[in-house]
Amino acid sequence: MDRNDSQLEQGAMPETEHNETNDNNMASLLEQEGLGIDFPKAGEIRSGVIASITPGQILVSVGTKSEGIINGREYEQIPEEELAKLEIGQEIPVFVLNPEDQNGNVVLSYVRAREESSWRQAEELLASKGSVSSSIIGYNKGGLIVPVGGLRGFVPASQISLSRRAALAGDTPEQRWGKMVGEPIEVCVIEVDRERRRLILSERAASAETRETLKERVIEELQEGEVRTGRVTSLAEFGAFVNIHGADGLVHLSEISWDRIQHPSEVLKVGQEVKVKIISIDKDKKRIGLSIRQLQEDPWLQRAGAYQVGQLVEGTITRLTKFGAFARLEEDMEGLIHISEISEKRIEHPKEVLKEGDVVTLRIIKIDPDNHRIGLSLRRVDSMAYADLDWQTLLEEDIPDIEEDLDSAPDAESHVDSD
């Protein structure tokens, strides 16, 4: 009887079966030893506790038998101000780069964990259409830089709220955006692109403010007569629209300039910043009337200042109407000769006495600065009512000639006879 047969008779286990049992026992033992250990996986974000901090290396307990390690490039990427705040025992998020390197270490990243968490937060915000509060930390020529978690998001100019855009002033990015740095802002995520590292945000999507509600609010704040700064938004044949803090007002063609213009584009361009005067507010129709020319010096008043009532002037007849004749005193300065002021005799039409192109002497009988009108008279040119004024004017005009005559007269002593 061989050895195996003897063992069988005695109830002993064959050697092959005994080896299998040992293997099973070992596996069971290893399983028991590993109970409670959640082995990390690459790409996983975990919460760990800092076990030690030394120059160039941080050990973090992540639930394994040995601590994970943050060193090399992953250590260097931690901003100095954040590194200075880390303490032993502090709980931090870590990203598993490698669950076991050649030395058996779990390789971790603190910066990647924060970045990954931020991308996930951004994706959740995109899916939920929720908003997040942040603050403006910078800008470029196209819009604002706003952080979301550990990421720098971008708010294009078109996605900035109406009220914030209405306050824009200046032509350079510094002038337009600089003063907004540090201001709080509520934004929604509208695009997430990890590969291109793009995070696009919108303040408008997070704001319930509409153009109509904004205009209503601005109209309530405005008062007739006050001066505001606005930006030209569009031009039309009848005038220009200027935006004041989110509400468009109309500058009628006649209120753009004191000079006669055919189209607003002769003076203004879209995007131009201008000062305007509020001249009318219709809250029911939500209309705002504006004026640019009323903030400019009136050239008519300057020219009219050279004239006075009663003065004799020379004018050229430019046109005839049923009610009178217009006479040009100088460029862009006309006066009206009412039909009753043309002749002492009763006439039916000015053409009975005058024709276009006639140059005549006229007397100023009225100056109306509010309506830019000068009243003239032909029949009162020789009126005795103005005799004293005419005499005084004549003296003032003749005085220089008299003085010249006196200056040119020979010395009286030179005519004394030497004899």
Number of domains in the chain: 4
Tell me, yes or no, whether 146 and 90 share the same domain: no
Tell me, yes or no, whether 307 and 383 share the same domain: yes
Q: Which among 295, 325, 357 is the end of a domain?
A: 295
Question: What is the C-alpha separation between 37 and 45, in angstroms, rounded?
Answer: 16
pLDDT score of 210: 59
Tell me, yes or no, whether 312 and 360 share the same domain: yes
Q: List the structure tokens of 274.
A: 């201008």
Tell me, yes or no, whether 310 and 343 share the same domain: yes
Q: What is the pLDDT along the chain (419 residues), one digit of tens a residue?
A: 444 444 444 444 455 444 444 444 443 444 444 445 567 888 888 888 999 999 989 998 887 777 889 888 888 888 888 888 899 999 888 888 888 888 888 999 888 888 888 888 899 889 888 888 899 999 998 899 999 988 899 999 888 887 787 677 777 888 888 889 999 998 999 999 988 889 999 988 887 665 666 777 788 888 899 999 888 888 888 999 998 877 888 999 989 988 888 999 999 988 888 999 999 988 888 889 999 998 888 888 888 888 888 888 899 999 999 999 999 988 778 899 999 988 888 999 999 999 999 999 999 989 988 788 899 998 888 867 666 665 666 656 554 443 444 344 444 443 334 33
Does 4 reside within a domain? no
Q: Torsions phi, psi of 152, nearest 5?
A: -100, 110
Tell me, yes or no, whether 108 and 135 share the same domain: no
Tell me, yes or no, whether 382 and 310 share the same domain: yes
Tell me, yes or no, whether 367 and 312 share the same domain: yes
Write out the residue range of the structural domain in which residue 79 sits. Answer: 45-115
Residue 12 is given by DSSP the state P
Q: Domain holding 155: CATH number?
A: 2.40.50.140
Verdict on whether the full-model pTM lies above 0.85: no
pLDDT score of 211: 62
Angstrom CA distances, 141 to 156, 157, 162, 174, stand at 9, 9, 18, 8
Tell me, yes or no, whether 289 and 307 share the same domain: no
Q: Which among 266, 295, 324 is the end of a domain?
A: 295
Does 412 reside within a domain? no
Does 28 reside within a domain? no
Does 419 reside within a domain? no
